[in-house]
C-alpha cells in the first residue's frame, strides 16, 4: 500500500511538473488613436468696436455645426486633440452703429489643437481637461450694409473640459466644452469710408457626440 501511495504521489508530481504554465495576461494592444463626431454649438461673445466711433459695438450670430476631431494618446493620461469644423457668422452693428443692421458675413475655419490630461480612476467615466492654441481663418467674406468686409486671420488661446463615457473598449459618448479667446481685427468700407476695428468673438464651443477608440 505504501508503495502504491508513493507511486501515485510521484505521478501527481510529474503531471504537475510537466503541465503547461497558464498563459500570461495578454498585453493591452489598444490603439493610441481616437476619433469623435460631435454636434457643436458655437456661442459668440457679442462685443467689439469700430475705431473712432464712440459707443460703437458689434455682435455675431451663433451657429450649430458638425465637428470632427482626432486624438492621439501618448500615455493613458496625456493626449493631444485636433478639432476640425467650419461655420459662418453674420456680423451686426450695435450701440451707436445699430442702424447698420447686418454689416456682413464671413465663414470661419478654426482648427484648434489642445493638450489634454485624462483622468483614469473612474471606470467607464473618463473626464479630461485641456489647453491649447487656435488659429482661425476667415474666408468667403462679404459686406451687406458695408460695401466690403475683411476680418483678419488670427491666433487664439483655447481652454477645454469634458468627458467620455465608454460603453465598451471602443465606443462611447462625449460631452465637451471649450472657451476660445479670439479677437480678430477687421477692415471695412461703409458708405465709401474706410473703417477698422476689433471683433471680440471669444466663443464658447459646446459639443456632444460619439467617441470611437481604435
| CA dist., res. 138 & res. 153, Å (int) | 6
Q: Return the DSSP state at 123.
A: T
Of the pLDDT bands very low, low, confident and very high (cuts 50, 70, 90), residue 4 is very low
Cα–Cα distance for residue pair 75/117, rounded to 1 Å: 10
C-alpha to C-alpha distance for 177 and 130, rounded to whole angstroms = 10
205 has pLDDT over 50: yes
Task: Say how far apart CA 106 and CA 193 lie, in whole Å.
Answer: 20
What is the grid cell recorded at 109? Answer: 475655419
Architecture of domain 33-213 in this structure? Beta Barrel (2.40)
Domain residue extents for the chain: 33-213
pTM of the model: 0.83
Cβ contact 7:1 at 8 Å: no
**Local confidence band at 83 (pLDDT 50, 70, 90 cut-offs):** very high
Q: Which residues make Cβ contacts (< 8 Å) with residue 120, sequence separation at least 6?
A: 76, 77, 126
Q: 3-state secondary structure string, 74-99? A: CCCCEEEEEEECCEEEEEEEEECCHH
Mean pLDDT over 173-199 rounds to: 96
Place of cell 465637451: 176
For 92-149, write each residue's pLDDT tens digit: 999 999 999 999 999 999 999 999 999 999 999 999 999 999 999 999 999 999 999 9
Q: What span, in angstroms and rounded, lies between the C-alpha atoms of 164 and 32?
A: 15
Give the model's pLDDT for residue 65: 96
Would you say residue 2 has pLDDT above 50?
A: no
Q: Tell me: the pLDDT tens digits for 9-40? A: 544 554 454 545 544 444 557 899 999 999 99
When pLDDT is cut at 50, 70 and 90, the band that residue 210 belongs to is very high
Cα angle 34, 38, 41; round to 5 = 140
Residue 20's pLDDT is 54
pLDDT at 79 over 50: yes
Cα separation values, 153 from 39, 49, 137, 163, Å:
24, 17, 5, 30
Instruction: Give the tens place of pLDDT for each residue, 36-77.
Output: 999 999 999 989 999 999 999 999 999 999 999 999 999 999
pLDDT value for 46: 85
Amino acid at each position: 500500500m505504501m508503495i502504491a501511495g508513493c507511486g501515485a504521489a510521484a505521478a501527481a508530481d510529474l503531471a504537475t511538473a510537466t503541465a503547461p504554465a497558464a498563459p500570461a495576461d495578454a498585453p493591452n494592444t489598444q490603439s493610441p488613436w481616437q476619433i469623435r463626431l460631435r454636434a457643436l454649438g458655437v456661442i459668440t461673445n457679442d462685443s467689439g468696436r469700430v475705431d473712432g466711433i464712440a459707443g460703437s459695438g458689434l455682435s455675431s450670430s451663433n451657429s450649430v455645426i458638425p465637428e470632427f476631431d482626432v486624438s492621439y494618446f501618448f500615455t493613458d493620461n496625456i493626449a493631444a486633440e485636433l478639432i476640425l469644423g467650419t461655420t459662418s457668422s453674420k456680423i451686426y452693428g450695435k450701440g451707436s452703429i445699430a442702424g447698420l443692421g447686418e454689416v456682413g458675413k464671413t465663414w470661419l475655419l478654426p482648427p484648434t489643437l489642445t493638450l489634454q490630461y485624462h483622468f483614469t480612476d473612474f471606470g467607464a467615466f473618463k473626464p479630461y481637461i485641456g489647453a491649447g492654441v487656435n488659429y482661425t481663418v476667415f474666408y468667403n467674406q462679404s459686406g451687406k450694409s458695408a460695401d466690403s468686409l475683411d476680418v483678419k486671420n488670427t491666433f487664439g488661446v483655447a481652454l477645454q473640459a469634458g468627458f467620455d463615457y465608454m460603453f465598451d473598449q471602443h465606443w462611447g459618448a462625449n460631452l465637451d466644452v471649450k472657451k476660445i479667446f479670439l479677437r480678430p481685427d477687421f477692415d471695412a468700407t461703409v458708405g465709401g469710408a474706410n473703417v477698422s476695428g476689433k471683433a471680440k468673438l471669444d466663443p464658447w464651443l459646446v459639443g456632444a457626440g460619439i467617441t470611437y477608440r481604435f
